[in-house]
Chains A and B, each alone.
Chain A
């Protein structure tokens, strides 16, 4: 299939694929088993200029957008959805700065992210604020030239590993979601510490942990946009990173499909390869159809966003839901095709099935995504 990528996009995809095949695939099972953070892989991405594909050229990036980010995430995820998250999670942490940062803030933080010298993370979720993001308890209180942050963020991707955190905190409780603000907090700021590293079902090479703010003083210039804009910063960011989750799911599904197809040609039962059985053939065909449909939707959604379109929430949510539900089905079928071997940890599809699950959950559960989609549909039809 020709996806009509530009020459530079093809280059990005090819190089990311090379890193996935040559550098990630050989270590994916080990990093999953050990829960090892992929510092060495980030170095390869940095040296290849891939860390800044979605960052403007004047800040040291390649000047691409959401599509370029998705292409990298997809290819890396084909080999390991967890390792890919060091890159994708940084995108999630960087987009608030890209979208809402001042020139000064962009100059200060984006070049290091583009060069792969620093990783970023996004801190929204709390123990009582998941799907209902309005339940945020972390507070930021103005104090002269500073804000003082208090509270605990939970399940933060790249937590403890990242250098730059964009944090959503409450600056005015009485205003509800309109009382949230977004801040940039650097690792090493006194009062910021990290809690326990989570022991997860999948994406185990990714670090997920708590961020604890105790009288954490940050300068006022670290406020992103204006006070009260925090919820908008978060929503606009997630609109651009959900296609990234979709790309992660797409990559995981593709990796599982490739493994299952290869296995089906090698595995013989009843004197012939199992790929000669129609039951297996139809499973493979269905997997391929779904993956192809996801890829088309994800790429096109990215192009829609990169074109500067205003209303992108519904489209981003659709891509995320469809891709992640597909990844779950495809990886489950890949395990099924590989039978007992597929269930074993020495083969990669068992891990892929575990990795796929999170894509239906994080950056907004698929149930919440369907709410977003349905509300938009109803709004649009009312407008018409």
Chain B
């Protein structure tokens, strides 16, 4: 069973800096970590491998520094790490990201299952997983909280819903996105850390994966961020006091004065 886990670099702090021209997050200046939901995806990938055999490869699209994060995945039992990095990928929205990842995954090839975290903690869109499945033409299930069975060409999993869960069967290859209820990610081991120190992350640029640059980065992103801002709370509420009758009269007078309502 060959498993590919998609991981994203996210800012490790809440102190995020924004590029004023592109309105995207400045990633190389922030302290980056693996998106916490992706830690569960990595753990699940490694658990499946330990159960049924095979290999786990992590893939990410990001700045060169992301390679260091991918090493952390090697330290917890992942076999290979691939980083897609190119100026052409800068400013990607979820569509361009899933395109680039799909091209990278096609280059790796021979996969049975792709595991993603349900969403990233920076954008919170939860779109890349399903979008990636569309690009690859394979089925997907989101918000997986448990894999009940997995074998050659078949997976049955529990998909978390607001009021319980659904049991979903799919043929493989397929994409799943996982929620934090699925497992408890392990800590690295010393032997794993020593291995990860020596490991060389495979680096691919847009040309290496045969990506059409018009579909990458800002060019390939129909989502254009026009403006980013921190919402300001400048509404000062007024509390109307008095008896119920006085309050009602007071409120009605104010609404009339502001011409929100009219007297017939």
**B-binding residues in A (CB < 8 A):** 7-8, 11-12, 15, 18-19, 22, 44, 47-50, 53, 62
Contacts and interface: CB of A to CB of B under 8 A. Distances in A.
Point out which of A12, A44, A47, A50 has the most chain B C-beta atoms below 10 A from its C-beta. A47
Question: Which 6 pairs between the two chains have the least Cβ-Cβ distance?
Answer: A49-B190, A49-B189, A48-B189, A49-B191, A48-B187, A11-B193
Main secondary structure of the interface of A (DSSP, over half): helix
Contacts of B190: 8, 11-12, 15, 48-50, 53, 62
Contact residue range for chain B?
A: 10 to 19
A44 B188 CA distance: 10
15 contacts: A15-B193, A18-B187, A19-B187, A22-B187, A44-B187, A47-B186, A47-B187, A48-B187, A48-B188, A49-B190, A49-B191, A49-B192, A50-B190, A62-B190, A62-B191
Contacts of B197: 7
B194 interface: yes
Given A15-B187, A44-B187, 13 more contacts: A7-B197, A8-B194, A11-B190, A11-B193, A15-B193, A19-B187, A47-B186, A47-B187, A48-B190, A49-B190, A53-B190, A62-B190, A62-B191
B55 to A, nearest CB: 20
Nearest to A62: B190
Interface string B190-221: 11111001000000000000000000000000
Contacts of A18: 187
A11 B192 CA distance: 11
B77 to A, nearest CB: 10
Contacts of B194: 8, 11
Nearest to B186: A47
Interface in B143-191: 186-191
Contacts of B187: 15, 18-19, 22, 44, 47-48
Nearest to A23: B187
A8 B197 CA distance: 11
Contacts of B191: 49, 62
A48 B187 CA distance: 7
A113 B243 CA distance: 75
A54 to B, nearest CB: 12
A316 to B, nearest CB: 26
Contacts of B189: 47-49
Point out which of B187, B189, B191, B197 has the most chain A C-beta atoms below 10 A from its C-beta. B187
A125 to B, nearest CB: 33
B11 to A, nearest CB: 21
A362 to B, nearest CB: 29
Contacts of A49: 189-192
Contacts of A12: 190
B261 to A, nearest CB: 51
Contacts of A11: 190, 193-194
B214 to A, nearest CB: 45
Contacts of A47: 186-187, 189
B63 to A, nearest CB: 24
Nearest to B191: A49
A44 B184 CA distance: 12
Contacts of A44: 187
A23 B191 CA distance: 20
Nearest to A64: B190
Contacts of A19: 187
Contacts of A15: 187-188, 190, 193
A341 B90 CA distance: 53
Contacts of B186: 47
A48 B192 CA distance: 9
Point out which of A7, A49, A62 has the most chain B C-beta atoms below 10 A from its C-beta. A49
Contacts of A7: 197
Nearest to B197: A7
Contacts of A53: 190
A7 B198 CA distance: 13
A12 B194 CA distance: 11
A62 B188 CA distance: 15
A19 B193 CA distance: 15
A50 B194 CA distance: 13
Contacts of B188: 15, 48
A114 to B, nearest CB: 11
Contacts of B193: 11, 15
